[in-house]
Amino acid sequence: MGKYLIRRLLQVIPVLFIISFVVFCLVFVAGDPVALMLPEDASQEDIEQLRESLGLNEPFHIQYFTYMVGLVQLDFGDSFRYNQSALPIVLERLPATLELAAAAMIIAIIIAIPFGIWSATKKNSPVDFLATGGSVLWKAMPNFWLGIMLILLFSVTLGWFPVSGRGTLSHLVLPAITLGTGIAAEMTRLIRSSMLEILNQDYIRTAKSKGIRNFFVVNKHAFRNALIPVVTITALQTSTLVGGTLVTETVFSWPGLGQLLIQAVNTRDMAIVQASVFVIAFIVILMNLLADILYKILDPRIKY
List of residues contacting other proteins (CB under 8 A): 30-32, 35-44, 46-47, 49-50, 53-54, 81-84, 89, 92-93, 107, 110-111, 113-114, 118, 121, 148, 151-152, 155-156, 159-173, 213-215, 218-219, 250-253, 255, 259-260, 263, 266, 268
Q: How many helices (H) and strands (E) does the chain have?
A: 14, 0
- CB 223, min distance to other proteins, A: 11
- As measured in angstroms, the least distance from the Cβ of 220 to other proteins is 12
Residue 232 CB, nearest approach to other proteins (Å): 23
Which CB, 138 or 285, lies closer to other proteins?
138
Q: How many CB atoms lie within 10 A of CB 166?
A: 18
Residue 244 or 255 with smaller CB distance to other proteins: 255
Read off φ and ψ for residue 85, nearest 5 degrees: -55, 135
CA distances from 255 to 49, 140, 145, 181, 210 (A): 33, 26, 19, 21, 55
Q: Note the Cα 119 to chain centre separation in Å.
A: 27
| C-alpha 214, offset from chain centre | 36
CB of 28 to other proteins, least distance (A): 14
Q: In the bound complex, what is the minimum distance in angstroms from residue 294's beta carbon to other proteins? A: 22
Distance CA 111, CA 118 (A): 11
- Smaller CB separation from other proteins, 163 or 293: 163
* Nearest to other proteins of 14, 159 (CB atom): 159
- Secondary structure of residue 85 in the 3-state scheme: strand
Question: Closest separation between CB of residue 178 and other proteins, Å?
Answer: 12
CA distance 11 to 85: 27
Give me the count of residues in the chain: 304
Please give, one letter per residue, the 3-state secondary structure of 115-163.
Answer: HHHHHHHCCCCHHHHHHHHHHHHHHHCCHHHHHHHHHHHHHHHCCCCCC
φ, ψ for residue 78 (rounded to 5)?
A: -90, 145
Closest CB to other proteins among 12 and 47?
47
Q: Which is nearer to other proteins, 261 or 291 (CB)?
A: 261
Nearer to other proteins, 64 or 82 (CB): 82
CB of 148 to other proteins, least distance (A): 5
